[in-house]
Structure 1
Amino acid sequence: MIESRVLTQDVFEDLARHARRVEEAPWLEFVHGKLEVKARPDGNRGQIIAWLTRLCLQAYPDRWLHAYQGLRTETDGEGNARPDAVLAPIDTFVGQGEWASPDDVLMVVEVTSYDEDTDRRDRVEKPRAYAETGIPVYLLIDRDSCEVKVHSEPDGVRYEQVVTVPYGKTVTLPDPVGIELDTEPLKNWTR
C-alpha cells in the first residue's frame, strides 16, 4: 500500500487512467489515503449484480444499478472507490467520467471477493468511506460468511444501523431504496 503523503488525488487518477488502458490491469481504488487493488469480478459476482439489477429495475423503473461506476468518496472527496454496483437515478452519471459525484447515490453494493484484503477493505474501510460520504445505504453481500449486511443511517463517520441476515432470509433495504430482498438465490452463487 502507498500512503497518501506519497500519492496525491491527481497522481492517483492519472495512474488509474493509464492502468485502465492495459488489458487485464487491476482496478485501482484510493480509500482513506491508501492505494487499493480491487479484484476483477468473477462469474458468480457478475450474476449477483445482474440479479440485483433486475430486482431494482422491477421496483423502480427510473433507477439503475450501475455496475462498477467509480465514485469520489470521503468527506473531502479525496478518495476513490469502485463499488460493484451503485443504485441511482438512470441519468445520474451521464457526463461525469470515471470518478463521479456520489450526491444522488441511493445505495452502494459490494460483493466480497475471495482475496486476503476483503476483510479490511469491504467490511471496515469501505463502510467508513461510504458513511463519511453520506451514501444512505451500503449493501454488503458477504460470500465468505454467507450473510447479507445492510448498513444505513450514515452519521458522517459511520453507519448507525447495521442489519445482518444469513442467506435464505428476507431483509429490508431501507429508504430511499425501499426494497424487500429475499436472499435465498444467493446460495446458488457462493462457493
Structure 2
Amino acid sequence: MTERKRTLWPLGILLVIALGIVLIVISIRISSKQSIDTDRTFNLKRIELDEKINAIMQQQNAFESLYNVRISTIGDRMNAVIMKNPYYVTPVPRDTPEKEGLLQSKDNVITIYVEKKKDSNNIQDMLIESVGLEFVRLDQGEKEVSVLTIPMEKSEENTYSTKTFSLPMQGYYQARFKIDVKNATQDKEIPVYFYHWVFNKQDSHL
C-alpha cells in the first residue's frame, strides 16, 4: 500500500486566518487610541474656545453696564438709536427707513455717541482708544460678502464721526463697529463690538 502524502494547506489557511485576526485586533487598538487622542484634543480646544468667548462676553457686558452707544446717520444726537452688540443681532429689516438709518448716494456721515448710563453705580470708567467701522453686505446673486472699511475720528468728547463717504450698491448694509477701550486698572486694550443695519439709497438715474 502506498503512504498518503501529507498536505500542509489546512495549516497554512489557519495561519493566514490567525494572522488576519491579529492584524484586525492591532488596527482596532490603534484606531481606538487615536480616537481617544482626537477627542481629548477636540475637548481641550472646545474648552479654550469657550473660555475666550466667556472673556469677550464679560468685557462686552462690563462696557454695556456703563455705556450706551448710539448711532445717527443724520447727526441727531437726541434721537440717535442705541446699538446692540452682535450677540443680539437682528435679521435684515424689510422696511426702508425714512430718515434715521438711511444713507444717500454720496456725502454720507455716520456719528456714534458713547454715553455713560445715568443709573450706573459703577464708578470705574473706560477710556476709548479707537473706533473702527466696517460695512458688510451679502451679494445675493454672487453669494459673496463684500466688506468696506471706513475710518472714524473723534469729533467731540465721546463722539466719533466718519468723513463723507458713499457706498457702491443700493440696499441694506450691516455697519460693524469695533471700539477698543481700556479700563482704569488695566493697560491692555479690549475690544467691544456693536452692529447696526443701514439702508443705502442710490439715485434713480445712477
TM-score (norm 1): 0.27
- Larger Cα-atom Rg: 2
Structure number with the bigger relative contact order (C-alpha 8 A, sep ≥ 6) is: 2
TM-score (norm 2): 0.25
